[in-house]
A and B are shown apart, each in its own frame.
Chain A
Amino acid sequence: MTTRYLILEDGTSYKGKAFGAEATTTGEIIVNSNMLGYQEVITNQIYHNQIIVFTQPSIGNTGINHKSFEAIVTNSKGVVVKEYSNISTNRLGNLNLDLFLKQHNIPGIAGIDTRELTRRLNRKQTMKASIVDMDDEHAFDQLHATVLTNQQVNQVSTKAPFPNTGDGYNIVLIDFGLKYGILRKLADLDCNVIVMPFETTSQEIFDLDPDGVVLSTGPGSPRDLPDSVLQMIREVQKEIPMFAMGLGHELFALANDANVYKLDGEHHGSNHPIRQVITNQIIYASQSEGYAVDPKSIIHDQLLITYVDLVNGTVQGIRHRDYPAFSVQFSPDGGPGPQDSADLFEEFLENVSSQRR
């Protein structure tokens, strides 16, 4: 394997072995602590423009299979691992990770002390990094000069509506960079889904007369989106049962006058116990968050807090008091990670059926 370098904005350089594509990339560097599911992680559009560091030491051992894609177009900018495992004995695997990354022009770097790197990045504001062939002054100059786009949702959201057909309830899914797990869960529940671009107006949604509206997950900051999106949420939540997750949840919060702040260090993993307020039960869920809703900013007359992260105290779920609209910060469909909260989709459909009666 040839040599490659991972360089960070703060001047640090890591030497490693190259795998994946021969590409030079720059992105925001984040750490993912999920033990399983690197394919779902790498293909999740939340990681658009991000370089992913896996804490799981050996990555690549289950290959790539047809069913675990969270998106076909992969936008992440690099994969950083301790050990790249080329041994894949998984019977569902039809491709290995190295080839997959080459197909998508994503570079990988192995042999990195990911534990040290994680501690370096832990609880700090996110920084940029590059995967390069030489860690010289030129590479660092390029790194510092690169401005990462804030139009991420615009880049990943679908440009035209498309269906995911079914016989059941008619659902409009607003695409902020959705993960396929959402479509899978809605399909399991027989929903007739229409996926719409992120700038869809409330009138366009009302014209379709759906039974329910889902706001998807996606990359970037909720504040990078135009105010018209918040306006759409305010108008639609009054009339149609709504369910939002991830970036959708942050937008739902902003639309209802709560504040969203950037976390010190993004959290990507499934290891935080989350308390469901109404029953005091604990669940675990797949979390991918760079931002969180500020509990002190929640106007009690408008929103109820429904889930709380017990490790960092962040708000993980809210619900509107007056309308059947609710949202969660995490991904209830798992992918990767626990499906403890997959019944939130059923809860959403129960709201839909109550409304339709």
Chain B
Amino acid sequence: MSKVVVDKMAMQRALTRITYEIIEKNKGVNNLVLVGIKTRGIYLAKRIANRLQKLENKEVPVVGIDVTKYRDDIQHTDNEPAVLSDEAVSLKDKNIILVDDVLFTGRTINAALSAIAELGRPKNIRLAVLVDRGHRELPIRADFVGKNIPTSKQEIINVQVDEIDDQDSVEIDEK
């Protein structure tokens, strides 16, 4: 019994608006690096980079990170690499935009901050999420939000992206 709360057009609009807001806050694309988390965050980061390129005619680098190693809430082995990228990447003095699909307890982002700490000291880090579902367990907040979707803890938010799920949507499901 799932309900679609964000459809393809709404997701596109949300990403477009986030892109404009990033340009506003960052005063352009100088020194910008988009860091996408795990799977879907990386595809969303790539879409934002694509939009930035169309507006400003400049390539903004996209880096993918796997934060499992730093999580404190899931069992994991300690040997996974953090950065999912072939070239060596330094985030020193850069303006980072962390990108993820859903912001919930905040523990993933906390793990991401630890991961980034290993890649150099950035100038600043801002957070962009497609969906903020509330229920934070840590003092973490997003700078750019696609959609605020208040949920109960019994509900599950399911984000699908065209690149791997063959459709763009955000659905709410009962557990």
Which chain A residues have a beta carbon within 8 Å of chain B's beta carbons?
277-280, 304, 306, 319, 321-324, 326, 343, 346-347, 350-351, 354, 357
Docked complex Cα distance between A321 and B51 (Å): 15
Q: Can you add 5 more A-B contacts, CB < 8 Å, to A278-B16, A322-B27?
A: A277-B54, A279-B12, A304-B20, A319-B20, A351-B17
| CB within 8 Å for A354 and B21 given contacts A278-B54, A279-B51, A347-B13 | yes
Cβ–Cβ < 8 Å partners of B56 in chain A: 304
- Tell me if B145 counts as interface (CB < 8 A to partner A): yes
A350 adjacent to B17 (CB under 8 Å): yes
Task: Return the chain B residue nearest A326 by Cβ.
Answer: B20
Cβ-defined partner of A354 (8 Å) among B16, B23, B27, B145: B145
Task: Return the chain B residue nearest A343 by Cβ.
Answer: B13
B54 adjacent to A280 (CB under 8 Å): yes
Interface size bucket, B side?
A: 10 to 19
Cβ-defined partner of B55 (8 Å) among A278, A322, A324, A350: A278
Docked complex Cα distance between A350 and B54 (Å): 22
A279 adjacent to B27 (CB under 8 Å): no
Cβ–Cβ < 8 Å partners of A278 in chain B: 16, 19-20, 51, 54-55
| CB within 8 Å for A304 and B13 given contacts A319-B20, A321-B27 | no
Complex interface residues of chain B between 1 and 59 (CB less than 8 A to chain A): 9, 12-14, 16-17, 19-21, 23-24, 27-28, 51, 54-56
Interchain residue pairs with CB less than 8 A apart (11): A278-B55, A280-B54, A304-B20, A304-B23, A304-B55, A306-B55, A321-B28, A347-B17, A350-B17, A351-B17, A357-B145
Docked complex Cα distance between A304 and B23 (Å): 10
A350 adjacent to B27 (CB under 8 Å): no
Closest 7 pairs (CB-CB, A-B): A278-B51, A278-B54, A278-B16, A278-B55, A350-B17, A304-B55, A277-B54
- Min distance, Cβ B72 to any Cβ of chain A, angstroms: 28
- Min distance, Cβ A350 to any Cβ of chain B, angstroms: 6
Cβ-defined partner of A324 (8 Å) among B9, B13, B24, B51: B24
Docked complex Cα distance between A322 and B24 (Å): 5
Docked complex Cα distance between A280 and B24 (Å): 21
Docked complex Cα distance between A279 and B11 (Å): 12
Task: Return the chain B residue nearest A325 by Cβ.
Answer: B24
Cβ–Cβ < 8 Å partners of A357 in chain B: 145
Cβ–Cβ < 8 Å partners of B24 in chain A: 321-324
Docked complex Cα distance between A351 and B21 (Å): 9
Cβ–Cβ < 8 Å partners of A346 in chain B: 13
Contact with A along B55-86 (1 / 0, CB 8 A): 11000000000000000000000000000000
